[in-house]
Structure 1
Amino acid sequence: MSIDFTAMYASHDAFRRDLERLAQAVADGRADAPGVRAGWENFKRQLHIHHTAEDSDLWPRVRERVAGRPRDLALLDDMEAEHSRIDPLLDAVDTALADGAPELPDLVRALAATLDDHLKHEEDSALPLMQEVLTAADWGAFTGRMREVQGLRGASVFVPWIVDGAPAADRAAFLGTMPPPVRVLNRLFWQGSYRRRGTWAGA
């Protein structure tokens, strides 16, 4: 049984979209808008949860399956090393946003390029490897860990964040992976609450 990576791709698209919004806000001189700062804070939180779960629950699981396969083990080393290169850039953008530093546009571009390179590498190489060596149960354990970390409160932000501004087909595909109660909660409560927060308003 193949693994459905719809939610993974949707998360990656949301990360890229948020950094595009940040770059536009910085270019327009609106980086200090409350909605932009709220969007940045949520971006950092979602990326931290995503990468922490990969480092603690996903890559070790894949590593067990590819023991004795040097090329695949090197790929996993690359995944972890790429995560470690992103963290200092997050901190640098954070500091530049707080200080209004003139290097902010360059730092945002560097972060966007570094993260995009990592996401492409993961999509082109790591996801096919996972499809090969992991079972549906393995993937379920990983996504279950993600849900556990997010909790219901986190899910109430995560789900509308993913579909915020997504093309209709992508939105439908992602929501189709969610249990029916989650789709109902999102439609009746979470979407409206997310919009009222004004996340990325002004971007």
Structure 2
Amino acid sequence: MTDTRTKKIDFTAMYASHDAFRRDLERLGKAVADGRAGTPGVRAGWDNFTHQLHIHHTAEDSGLWPRVRDRVAGRPRDLALLDDMEAEHSRIDPLLAAVDTALQDQAPELPDLVRALTATLDDHLKHEEDSALPLMQDVLTPADRAAFTGRIRETQGLRGAAVFVPWVVDGAPETDRAAFLNAMPPPVRVLNRLFWEGGYRRKGLWGDH
């Protein structure tokens, strides 16, 4: 019998999502610097960014970290890392709310808030990539990972997937785009090519980025 724990977990979609979050905050920072923060395209881009991040972090908090925590019971250093992951999420939430309010009000502190959010989220993503993902690779199985991605798929639904998939690959280098799409089921790739990418582009997220 094959031991499923010896199979490596494919984190392609996780890294691609992280890169998309970083890319969107770069676009927000540029929009703020260019004086376009109040435009409909930027607002739509920001709303989608916060929506995608909420789904991602909620799935981690409810369906991923508890699973890892069960596997590392009695290992204080690993449990402390999971505490850090959850604490970092809690520090990001008020920054999202502050940026959202400042965007609506076009407040003068908006540039500083965007920089603070960008630095805080990037630190968290790097910490997760450098420490939490290797831990997950060590203690979880591909089936555990599939349960996590399944939770995201259920939350997104088909309508959400029609935005999520082209959003992830928007502006990605061709090799990264191909790696992400190749990790998707064939019907998703077909739907994305025929319908979803065009619909996503028509949304005009971030406007002239």
What band does the TM-score fall into relative to the shorter chain? over 0.9
- The CA RMSD over aligned residues, in Å, is 0.5
Q: Does 1:10 align with 2:20?
A: no
Q: 1: distance between equivalents of 2:76 and 2:93?
A: 26
- In structure 2, runs of 5+ residues without a counterpart are 1-6
Letter in 2 for 1:181: P
Letter in 2 for 1:177: A
Q: Does 1:82 align with 2:81?
A: no
Number of aligned residue pairs: give it: 203
Q: Does 1:180 align with 2:175?
A: no
| Post-superposition CA distance 1:63-94 (Å, at most 9, x none) | 00000000000000000000000000000000
Q: When the two structures are superposed, what TM-score results if normalisation uses the length of structure 2?
A: 0.96
Match of 1:67 in 2: 73
Give 1:202 deviation, angstroms: 2.6
Q: 1: distance between equivalents of 2:10 and 2:33?
A: 37
Give 1:201 deviation, angstroms: 1.1
2:141 to 135, 158, 162: 135
The residue matched to 1:145 in structure 2 has which SS? helix
Q: 2: distance between equivalents of 1:101 and 1:137?
A: 46
1:105 to 100, 104, 111: 111
What percentage of aligned pairs have identical amino acids? 83
Letter in 2 for 1:84: S
| Post-superposition CA distance 1:4-57 (Å, at most 9, x none) | 000000000000000000000000000011111100000000000000000000
Structure 1 stretches of 4+ moved >4 Å: none
The residue matched to 1:58 in structure 2 has which SS? helix
Q: When the two structures are superposed, what TM-score results if normalisation uses the length of structure 1?
A: 0.99
What is the correspondence of 1:1-203 to structure 2 with a 5 Å cutoff? 1-203=7-209
Letter in 1 for 2:187: P
- In structure 1, runs of 5+ residues without a counterpart are none
Letter in 2 for 1:130: M
Give 1:166 deviation, angstroms: 0.3
